[in-house]
Structure 1
Amino acid sequence: MDAEDLNHINQLLDHDVELREKIKDQVTELDKKARTMVGLLNKIHSTPSNLIPALLDSVRPTLDSCREATAGLAALVPPSQFWRWKDQWANALRTVIFAASLVEYLASGKLISLAQVSDILGIKEEWKDRLAISAEDYLHGLISLVNELSRLAVNAVTLGNFEEPIRISLFVKDLFAGFSMLNLKNDTLRRRYDSLKYDIKKIEEVVYDVSLRKLAAPPVNDTAPTTS
């Protein structure tokens, strides 16, 4: 290589390092917001059902502020380089999706759609070659939702909310049925999907105990959770 070629390559390498650091800074901001929401939402396990709306109101401002981080990422990622940089923010984004899906479930009892999450995070269609929510990241977020709801089914009973495990059971079983129709070829996603069986079993045990003690009416699967 001559000196001019070496200089050009060095400039490209320096640009990549600089871009990576800028993207990392935006991802760090998104991750901070995600962890803040998870910390607040963890209070659902010790919060009476009548106080849940107020708790969700405390989470929504942080969820809405995630738009700033996604806009910052979209501004940094060069056109047609989504898949090159996607792994940088995947974990933080999945946590945000989990938080958004949990807020939606607690507020309405419904399953949040991928389009709804994109709208909440301000992700625009014209960004699709730079920043988008992949189906894989969306599904990872929903699996985390089921993990959390299996905990809530147990803790709701300790708070005297005997109906919640039944609602959770119907919701999770319908969601699991939807997952079972997908062709999951990603190994990590497949393993996490398979683990949902343990969450469902845990929820079923709570529902059985509540029904056996006649603390709540047994579940009737006549109303499936719908995407709002």
Structure 2
Amino acid sequence: MDAMDVDYLNELLEQDVEIREKIKQQVSDLDKKVRVMVGILIKIHSTPTDTLPPLLDSVRPILRSCHDTSAALASLVPPNQFWRWKEMWSNSLRTAVYSAALVEYLSSGSLITLSQASEVLGIKEEWADRFSIAVEDYLHGLISLVNELSRLAVNAVTLGDYEAPLRISVFVKDIFAGFSMLNLKNDTLRRRFDSLKYDLKKIEEVVYDVSLRKLTDSTKSAVRK
């Protein structure tokens, strides 16, 4: 190995270190934003349903601020090097997807799609080879959503919202059915999917208890008939 080769290799190593440090700074910024969002969203467990909109409105500006971070990350990653660097932001992005998904469910009762999650976080299609939401990261975000909704099913009853567990049950069963049709080969993702069975069971127990006590409008109507 001659001196020119050594210099060239050192230059490449220095470039990698520089890119890594710049990516790390942006990921740190994303981490701060997702921590704030999670901190706000945890309050759903002690917030009555009719007063949720202001809480969700306080999260939306933070989601929009992720657009700047996404653009910065996309500008830092060289073309066709997405898979080389993605592990640096995967965990943060999964939590960001979870936050966006929870806001979407609590706002509209619907499941956020991969393309919708990308749009909410300001991630453009043309960045696919540099910065995007990997399918597995999107799915991890949805599993975290179900984990949180299983808690909400219990806490909603405590707050006097007896219809929420029924809505959550239908929604989660639909997600579970979708996951069941996927060919999951990622071990971590597979294990987390298996844990959804316990969340589903927890929700079903709440629904059963609410129905047994005839606390929902549907069960009250059935009794009157």
Q: When the two structures are superposed, what TM-score results if normalisation uses the length of structure 2?
A: 0.96
* Mapped partners of 1:167, 1:200: distance in 2: 13
* Alignment partner, residue 21 of structure 1: 21
* Mapped partners of 2:179, 2:154: distance in 1: 23
* Alignment partner, residue 3 of structure 2: 3
Q: Deviations over 1:63-103 (max 9, x none)?
A: 11001111000000000000000110000000000000000
* Mapped partners of 2:218, 2:194: distance in 1: 26
* Alignment partner, residue 124 of structure 1: 124
* Mapped partners of 2:43, 2:87: distance in 1: 30
Shift of 1:2: 1.3
One-letter amino acid of the counterpart of residue 63, structure 2: L
* Alignment partner, residue 174 of structure 1: 174
* Alignment partner, residue 39 of structure 1: 39
Shift of 1:8: 1.2
Summarize the Cα distance change of 1:66–1:160 in structure 2 as closer, same or farther, 3 Å threshold: same
* Mapped partners of 1:63, 1:203: distance in 2: 28
One-letter amino acid of the counterpart of residue 109, structure 1: G
* Mapped partners of 1:82, 1:40: distance in 2: 31
Q: Deviations over 1:177-208 (max 9, x none)?
A: 01101111110000000000000000011111
* Mapped partners of 1:206, 1:17: distance in 2: 51
**Residues 153 and 206 in structure 1, CA contact (< 8 A), matched pair in contact too:** yes
Q: Deviations over 1:7-51 (max 9, x none)?
A: 111111111111100000001111111111000000000001111
Q: Which consecutive residues of structure 2, in runs of 5 or more, have no partner in the other structure?
A: 220-225
Q: Secondary structure at the match of 1:14?
A: helix
Summarize the Cα distance change of 1:71–1:142 in structure 2 as closer, same or farther, 3 Å threshold: same
Summarize the Cα distance change of 1:50–1:217 in structure 2 as closer, same or farther, 3 Å threshold: closer
Shift of 1:161: 0.5
One-letter amino acid of the counterpart of residue 122, structure 1: G
* Alignment partner, residue 113 of structure 1: 113
Tell me the matched-pair count: 219
Q: Is 1:68 the equivalent of 2:102?
A: no
Q: Which consecutive residues of structure 1, in runs of 5 or more, have no partner in the other structure?
A: 220-228
RMSD after superposition: 1.0
Shift of 1:217: 4.8
Q: Is 1:58 the equivalent of 2:58?
A: yes
Q: When the two structures are superposed, what TM-score results if normalisation uses the length of structure 1?
A: 0.94
* Alignment partner, residue 223 of structure 1: none
Q: Is 1:92 the equivalent of 2:78?
A: no
**Residues 211 and 217 in structure 1, CA contact (< 8 A), matched pair in contact too:** no
What does 1:120-199 align with in structure 2 at a 5 Å threshold? 120-199=120-199
* Mapped partners of 1:154, 1:64: distance in 2: 30
> As a proportion of its length, which structure holds more helix?
2
Shift of 1:125: 1.4
Q: Secondary structure at the match of 1:62?
A: helix
Q: Is 1:215 the equivalent of 2:215?
A: yes
One-letter amino acid of the counterpart of residue 212, structure 2: L
* Alignment partner, residue 204 of structure 2: 204
One-letter amino acid of the counterpart of residue 130, structure 1: R
* Mapped partners of 2:144, 2:217: distance in 1: 28
Shift of 1:218: 6.0
